[in-house]
Amino acid sequence: MLITENILLALAGLKSNIMRSLLTMLGIIIGIASVIAIMTVGNSITVMVNTQMQEMGANNLTVGVSAKSTSEESTTSGLHFGAGNRRSMDTDDYITDDMLDTFLDEYADNIKYTLLSSTVGSGTAVDGDLYAYVNIVGYNQDYMDYTNLDLLAGRNFIEQDYENAQKVCIVSDYFVNNMFSGDTSSALGSAIEVSIDGKYYTYYIVGVYEYDSSTWFSDSTEDTTTDMYIPYDTARNQLHTMNEGYSSITLVTTIDTDSESFADTVESYFNTMFYSNNEDYEVTVTSMASMIESMTTMISTIELALAIIAGISLVVGGIGVMNIMLVSITERTKEIGTRKALGATNGSIRLQFITESVVICIMGGLIGIVLGVVLGSVAATYMGYSASVSISAIVVAVAFSMAIGIFFGYYPANKAAKLNPIDALRYE
């Protein structure tokens, strides 16, 4: 009952001095609003990054050949040797088909897709005055199944296309709009010439896919560069890399496989079975899940650092609350003396002023939360992210407001509780 009365008294005091109360709460409002806004923007970025990386494949493992990490040493004369003198990769250093087949036989139950890709380069398809910009990429059958293109016309690559390295391609609807006036029937089966670095390559269109317009940033359809897909071995033939093996592959694990722990298994298997005698190169495996975790941790660290900097204004706000409470006690000295003369204990006087301090901070905190959510949502939307409010930040903000009220209100409240009632009644 005493707490309820103290809260009502505090609210009445705030109402009687609205302007002074608002100025007192201003530091708290700014501090809480800044923290909430920063946390909202940070949370929005985290959600967006996680979503995009999940779409890229949270259960993807990137298996790549990299130089062994050896410390560089130097002689007394200052000459360096070690890492800087490592030889370039040759045919024996790549992951071969035999290695890959052996591995896949061993862990067939853990692997859903083996993704192989080779980028031929960017070029321009030309037919008279007509042109279209393309980025030519070679995919193996697993990669095409994994990508799951939305075909508008024609077909996907068939087994013979992959085995015989046929010069066939799948182009976008934007490409067809530029080169065939949108007529997919005319496009299918047609031969197109693409110029890459002054060389012309001929492909035959077998399919047309729908281009994702969300990735389109050009001012016009004609200037948009879209991917043109060809079979993986067709790309390797064009690049003259058929016999080199693979410097990097991507594995997509099954749903019931722990990709992070399996990454260690893959790395250990390749290095033990195939690279134990290779003095310069080894296989390293990176999981998308670990990359997501690292990215989230990095964003959270930056977010926390900015929130702490913004939170400094809360300390300033707390000092303002302490200052106004000291002024309030001076103004109400006779009131305190009267209450003590009527039997109020030191504890009840102390509780009254601590409650008043907490109410001021909570009111400021609530206003700051609303302002922070609005500012954070507007900022996140302006930056192109979907606003995601951090509930935990709001809970922490309310708790922090109460803590500030208690911490900075205790000294003035204790000073009021220790006033001598006789001196207080005589105070002018």
Indicate the DSSP class of residue 89: P
Q: How far apart are CA 84 and CA 200, in angstroms?
A: 39
Strand partners, 95: 246
Tokens 């990669």: give the residue: 143
Cβ pair 137, 117 in contact under 8 A: yes
Per-residue pLDDT of the chain (428 residues), as tens digits, is 467 777 777 777 677 777 777 777 888 888 888 888 888 887 787 777 666 655 555 678 889 999 887 655 444 444 444 444 567 888 888 899 899 999 999 999 999 899 999 999 999 998 888 999 999 999 999 999 988 888 999 999 999 999 999 999 999 999 999 999 999 999 999 999 999 988 899 999 999 999 876 544 444 456 789 999 999 999 999 888 766 788 889 998 888 888 888 889 999 999 999 998 888 899 998 887 666 677 777 877 877 777 777 677 777 778 888 887 787 777 777 777 777 777 777 777 788 778 888 888 888 888 888 888 888 888 888 877 777 777 877 887 778 778 887 887 787 777 777 776 666 566 55
- Convert the pLDDT of each residue in 86-121 to its tens digit: 678 888 888 998 999 999 999 999 998 999 999 999
Span between the terminal Cα atoms of the chain, in Å: 32
Integer angstrom CA distances of residue 267 from 262, 273, 331:
9, 10, 74
Indicate the DSSP class of residue 200: E
Q: How far apart are CA 118 and CA 230, in angstroms?
A: 10
Identify the pLDDT of residue 334: 74
- Tell me the two tokens of residue 153: 């016309």
Cβ pair 118, 235 in contact under 8 A: yes
Residue whose C-alpha is closest to residue 171's, from 225, 110, 222, 223: 225
Identify the pLDDT of residue 81: 46
CA dihedral for 109, 110, 113, 116, sign (positive or negative): negative
**What 3-state class would DSSP assign to 307?**
helix
Identify the pLDDT of residue 165: 93
DSSP string, 334-403: HHHHHHHHTT--HHHHHHHHHHHHHHHHHHHHHHHHHHHHHHHHHHHHHTT------HHHHHHHHHHHHH
Identify the pLDDT of residue 234: 94
**What 3-state class would DSSP assign to 288?**
helix
Indicate the DSSP class of residue 215: G
Strand partners, 200: 195
β pairing state of 117-127 and 130-139? antiparallel
224 φ/ψ sector (left φ>0, alpha ψ -120 to 50, else beta): beta
Q: Which residues contact 420 (CB under 8 A, 6 or more apart)?
A: none
Cβ pair 281, 87 in contact under 8 A: no
What pTM was estimated for this model as a whole?
0.58
Indicate the DSSP class of residue 132: E
Q: For residues 100, 101, 103 and 107, what is the CA-based torsion angle, rounded to 10 degrees?
A: 130
Q: How far apart are CA 332 and CA 325, in angstroms?
A: 10
Instruction: Give the full edge-to-edge strand order of the sheet including 248-253.
Output: 111-115, 248-253, 60-67, 281-287
Indicate the DSSP class of residue 158: -
Residue 156 buriedness (CB in 10 A; 0-12 / 13-18 / 19+)? middle
CA dihedral for 135, 139, 143, 148, sign (positive or negative): positive
Amino acid identity of residue 405, one-letter, is G
